[in-house]
Structure 1
Amino acid sequence: MSTSVKETLNSKQSFWFFIGPAFLVSVGYMDPGNWATSLEAGSRYGYALLWVITLASLIAVLMQLLSAKLGIASGKNLAQMIRVEHPGKGGTFLLSTAALAMVATDLAEFLGVAVALNLLFDIPLVVAIFLTIFDVLLILWLERFGFRWVEMTILAFVATIGLGYVVELWLAQPEWADVAKAMFVPNATIMDTTALFIAMGILGATVMPHNLYLHSHQVMTRRDEGCSEETCRRFYKMMRWDTILALTAAWIVNSAILIMASAAFHEKGLLITDIDEAYKTLGPLLGEAAALTFGIALLASGIASSTTGTLAGQIVFESFFKKRPVNILKIRLFIRLGTMIPAAIAILLSTTPLKLLVLSQVILSMQLPFAVIPLVRMTSNPMIMGDLVNDAKTKITAWSATALIVGLNIWLLVMLAVEAFK
Structure 2
Amino acid sequence: MRRSPRRLAWLIGPALVAGVAYLDPGNVASNMTAGARYGYLLVWVVVLGNVMAWLIQYLSAKLGVVTGQSLPEALGHRIQSPWGRRAYWLQAELVAMATDIAEVIGGAVALYLLFGVPLLWGGLITGAVSMTLLIVQSRGGAKPFEFVIMGLVAVIAIGFGYGVFVAPPDGAGVASGLMIRFDGTDSVLLAASILGATIMPHAIYAHSALSRDRFTAASAQNGAKAAATVSRGVPLENLRGISTSGLLRATRWDVTIAMLIAGTVNLCILLLAAANLAGVSGTDTLEGAYAALHDGIGPAVATLFAVGLLASGLASTSVGAYAGAEIMRGLLRVRVPLLTRRLITLIPALAILAFGVDPTLALVLSQVVLSFGIPFALIPLVVLTANRGLLGRFRNHGITTAAGIAASTFLVVLNALLLWLILTGR
State the Cα distance separating 1:279 from its structure 2 match.
1.2
- Does structure 1 residue 264 correspond to structure 2 residue 276? yes
In the other structure, the counterpart of 2:85 is 91
In the other structure, the counterpart of 2:344 is 337
In the other structure, the counterpart of 1:78 is 71
- Does structure 1 residue 246 correspond to structure 2 residue 274? no
In the other structure, the counterpart of 1:369 is 375
In the other structure, the counterpart of 2:162 is 167
In the other structure, the counterpart of 1:200 is 192
Unaligned runs of 5+ in 1: 1-9
After TM superposition, the structure 1 = structure 2 runs for residues 270-285 of structure 1, keeping only pairs within 5 Å, are 270=281, 272-285=283-296
Alignment counterpart, residue 300 of structure 1, candidates 308, 311, 329: 311
In the other structure, the counterpart of 1:145 is 140
State the Cα distance separating 1:343 from its structure 2 match.
2.4
In the other structure, the counterpart of 1:5 is none
SS of aligned partner of 1:144: helix
State the Cα distance separating 1:415 from its structure 2 match.
0.9
After TM superposition, the structure 1 = structure 2 runs for residues 219-238 of structure 1, keeping only pairs within 5 Å, are 219-220=211-212, 221-223=214-216, 224=219, 225=227, 226=229, 227-228=236-237, 231-238=243-250
Amino acid at match of 1:362: V
Q: State whether residues 131 and 342 of structure 2, in contact with CA within 8 Å, keep that contact through their aligned partners in structure 1.
A: no
State the Cα distance separating 1:245 from its structure 2 match.
1.1
Q: State whether residues 159 and 306 of structure 2, in contact with CA within 8 Å, keep that contact through their aligned partners in structure 1.
A: no
Paired with 1:300 and 1:111, the residues of 2 have a C-alpha distance of 12
Paired with 1:346 and 1:109, the residues of 2 have a C-alpha distance of 13
State the Cα distance separating 1:350 from its structure 2 match.
2.6
State the Cα distance separating 1:131 from its structure 2 match.
2.0
In the other structure, the counterpart of 1:62 is 55
In the other structure, the counterpart of 2:224 is none
- Residues 105-157 of structure 1, C-alpha deviation per residue, up to 9 Å, x if partnerless? 11101111111111111111111112222111332135422211110111111
- Residues 239-283 of structure 1, C-alpha deviation per residue, up to 9 Å, x if partnerless? 0111011111100000000000011101x5445221111112211
Paired with 1:125 and 1:106, the residues of 2 have a C-alpha distance of 15
- Residues 174-216 of structure 1, C-alpha deviation per residue, up to 9 Å, x if partnerless? 213422442xx2242x251000000000010000001111110
- Does structure 1 residue 29 correspond to structure 2 residue 38? no
Q: State whether residues 67 and 78 of structure 1, in contact with CA within 8 Å, keep that contact through their aligned partners in structure 2.
A: yes
State the Cα distance separating 1:66 from its structure 2 match.
0.7
- Does structure 1 residue 378 correspond to structure 2 residue 384? yes
In structure 2, relative to structure 1, the CA distance for the partners of 1:171 and 1:208 (3 Å cut) is: same
Amino acid at match of 2:132: L
Alignment counterpart, residue 51 of structure 1, candidates 44, 58, 66: 44
In structure 2, relative to structure 1, the CA distance for the partners of 1:116 and 1:269 (3 Å cut) is: closer
Q: State whether residues 136 and 310 of structure 1, in contact with CA within 8 Å, keep that contact through their aligned partners in structure 2.
A: no
After TM superposition, the structure 1 = structure 2 runs for residues 170-181 of structure 1, keeping only pairs within 5 Å, are 170-181=165-176
Alignment counterpart, residue 354 of structure 1, candidates 360, 371, 375: 360
In structure 2, relative to structure 1, the CA distance for the partners of 1:144 and 1:232 (3 Å cut) is: same
SS of aligned partner of 2:94: helix
Q: State whether residues 44 and 271 of structure 1, in contact with CA within 8 Å, keep that contact through their aligned partners in structure 2.
A: no
SS of aligned partner of 2:357: coil
State the Cα distance separating 1:349 from its structure 2 match.
3.1
State the Cα distance separating 1:367 from its structure 2 match.
1.0
Worse-matched range after superposition: 346-355 or 226-235: 226-235
In the other structure, the counterpart of 1:288 is 299
In the other structure, the counterpart of 1:392 is 398
In the other structure, the counterpart of 2:328 is 317
- Residues 43-76 of structure 1, C-alpha deviation per residue, up to 9 Å, x if partnerless? 0000110110000111111111110111112110
Q: What TM-score results when the alignment is normalised by the length of structure 1?
A: 0.91
Paired with 2:143 and 2:194, the residues of 1 have a C-alpha distance of 30
Paired with 1:327 and 1:30, the residues of 2 have a C-alpha distance of 26
In structure 2, relative to structure 1, the CA distance for the partners of 1:281 and 1:333 (3 Å cut) is: farther
Paired with 2:158 and 2:350, the residues of 1 have a C-alpha distance of 31
SS of aligned partner of 2:247: helix
Worse-matched range after superposition: 244-253 or 158-167: 158-167
Amino acid at match of 2:126: T
In the other structure, the counterpart of 1:212 is 204
Paired with 1:131 and 1:20, the residues of 2 have a C-alpha distance of 27
Q: How many residues align?
A: 402
Paired with 1:273 and 1:353, the residues of 2 have a C-alpha distance of 11
Overall identity of the aligned pairs, in %: 34
State the Cα distance separating 1:347 from its structure 2 match.
2.8
Amino acid at match of 1:197: L
In the other structure, the counterpart of 1:129 is 123
Paired with 2:310 and 2:150, the residues of 1 have a C-alpha distance of 14
